[in-house]
Amino acid sequence: MGADSRRLQAEGAQRPPPSRAEAEAAVETLIRWAGDEPSREGLRDTPQRVVRAYEEFFAGYREDPEALLSRTFEDVSGYRDIVLLRDIRLESHCEHHMVPIIGTAHVAYLPDRRVVGISKLVRVVHALARRLQTQETLTAQMADAIEVALAPRGVGVIVDAAHQCMTTRGVRQPGVSTVTTAFRGEFESRECLQDRLWRLLG
């Protein structure tokens, strides 16, 4: 995350968030703007449902990825090879259009002195994905969080996802996915490790 982004996020954090009633009123406004009537039977409870859904979609703002990785284990019998989690389901939202980004994340690291429970890596992916994002930023944030928390010899993150801002609007190209990568440490400096990682992913 760049300095400008951190500054803007810090400024936003100082302002009190809108109330639930304000959020529901905003959804009503959007329904009217779209051309429908929020008071009709099928839409009567939609503002409340949307706000509840947004609480799930953007729960990552209330989670600290590094804290999720704080409990580590050092008794690994000298294991120093790749630890890889493949095909982690990823659901995020594009910060430009607020529509879903859906795909998979593959997360790998080379332990130095400690490892972390594998479920924690999944939680980190979910925590960072459940925010308004670009895929490039999300990929880099995953790698950075693992690097800072675990101090491994290397980190590799690969994300393959489809963006509904492109598949359902604009150029309307279903079936197109975007692949982004972030390599740190030995994964960045040793191409043979990147090659191994791609082979492990098949």
Would residue 95 show up in a list of annotated catalytic residues for this protein? yes
Residue tagged active-site, from 133, 135, 141, 194? 135
Query: How far is it, in rounded angstroms, from Cα 97 to Cα 81?
Result: 40
Q: Out of 63, 165, 186, 188, which one is annotated catalytic?
A: 165
- Dmax of the chain from CA atoms? 64
Helix (DSSP H) and strand (DSSP E) numbers for the chain: 9, 7
SS3 state of residue 201: coil
Task: Point out the catalytic residue in the list 37, 55, 96, 136.
Answer: 96
- Reported as a single tens digit per residue, the pLDDT across 172-185 is 888 889 999 999 99
Of 97, 147, 186, 188, the active-site residue reads 97
Q: What is the pLDDT of residues 113-132, one digit of tens each?
A: 889 999 999 999 999 999 99
Residues 165 and 144: their CA atoms lie apart, in Å, by: 26
pLDDT at 12: 58
Instruction: For residue 96, give the amino acid letter.
Output: H
pLDDT tens digits, the chain, 202 residues: what are they? 555 555 556 655 678 989 999 999 999 999 999 999 999 999 999 999 999 999 999 999 999 998 999 988 887 788 889 999 999 999 999 999 999 999 999 999 999 988 999 999 999 999 999 999 999 999 999 999 999 999 999 999 999 999 988 888 888 888 889 999 999 999 999 999 999 999 999 8
Cα four-point dihedral sign 182, 186, 189, 192: negative
CA distance 135 to 127: 14
Cβ atoms 182, 157 nearer than 8 A? yes
Give the residue among 184, 141, 155 at the shortest CA–CA distance from 6: 141
Residue 7 to residues 59, 93, 109: CA-CA distances in angstroms? Answer: 21, 21, 30
The answer to whether the beta carbons of residues 47 and 25 sit under 8 Å apart is yes
Q: Is 96 a catalytic residue?
A: yes
Say which of 28, 63, 91, 94 is annotated catalytic.
94
User: Is 165 known to be catalytic?
Assistant: yes
Would you state the torsion angle of the CA atoms of residues 9, 15, 21, 24, taken in this order, to the nearest 10 degrees? -30
Is residue 94 part of the annotated active site? The answer reads: yes
Catalytic-role residue among 28, 91, 95, 188: 95
